[in-house]
Amino acid sequence: MAGASPDRDDSGLISLTVPEAEAGARLDQFLARQAGYSRARVQRWLKAGLVLVNDLAQSASYKVRPGDRITLTVPPPEPGFLAAEPLPLDIIFEDGDIIVVNKPPGLVVHPGAGHRGGTLLNALLAHCPELQDIGDVSRPGLVHRLDKDTSGLLVAAKTALAHESLVRQFQARQVDKTYVALVWGRFKTKTGEIEKEIGRHPSERQKMSVHARRGKAAVTQWRVLEEFAPPLTLVELKPRTGRTHQLRVHLASLGHPVVGDAAYGGGAARLKAEPRLRGLKPLVTRQLLHARNLGFSHPRTGEAMAFEAPLPEDFQQILELLKEREMK
């Protein structure tokens, strides 16, 4: 928007003057637009007293007035900031606002306990350094995530505008996500919906559960795609909410855990116990869950965007083996 023209000096100080066109805008929204940072980050800086309006501190909800002089002191990067690492990326789509990638199984999305580097986020920062200043300082650019051993589509924001829009779309459940999973057992019907609250497991804090003391609403729609012996079922899943481990927990609650998911009852022990699947055991090294489709509105143009990622090689190989056995 014309008129603000932020001035930046080498010390990290940004100075702006509010133009007539921005009269009445919230302070946090004005700064996010004009300075190019996410609204969440601007709000943290406001609380820290790093923003002054006419030399006075103001709240995020302050309505700016034409001629207001605003200064923002951008803090230096925190110790241990995220390192950019030139790791391979399977880029499905990219423009000035967003990047959509196909995450391979086994890759952690962002650094955390036990994973200080070598993550998808480290690779994204090397490919598009502008992510460093977008959104949460610990997970810049990210608006959602996939479990380490879940493969498939993930979108990241390259601009503050894109970050705010995508976060809003995820929160409003306007993002269309479709997964494919190979699970244990047979379903009684070909389609259905699971509506069970999900929260932290009462005793195993690293896991989630439908029996949590304080669960949150969670809804998953499912559809049978194909059935195999002994029995296994390939299903399509559409999460209508975005809880941690939602699909894995919901499927396990029905008695149909994802094949290879040791945390929720579908792992190697179950493969070993089934004589007809012992030959499959060496091929199953993770939960067979794949984020196949992702759809949302482009943050800048509003255009409907839809992407699809094929099943990764390990998943395809297992399905081919199961189909070959069906033909014998």
Catalytically active residues, by annotation:
147
Dihedral in degrees, nearest 10, Cα atoms 318, 320, 321, 322: 90
Q: Which segments of the chain does DSSP mark as H helices, in order?
A: 27-35, 39-47, 120-127, 160-171, 246-253, 268-273, 313-327
Q: What tokens does 262 get?
A: 């040791």
Q: What tokens does 2 get?
A: 């014309």
Contact 178, 237 (CB under 8 A): yes
Contacts of 134 (CB under 8 A, 6+ apart): 37, 38, 140, 141, 157, 158, 159, 160, 162, 163
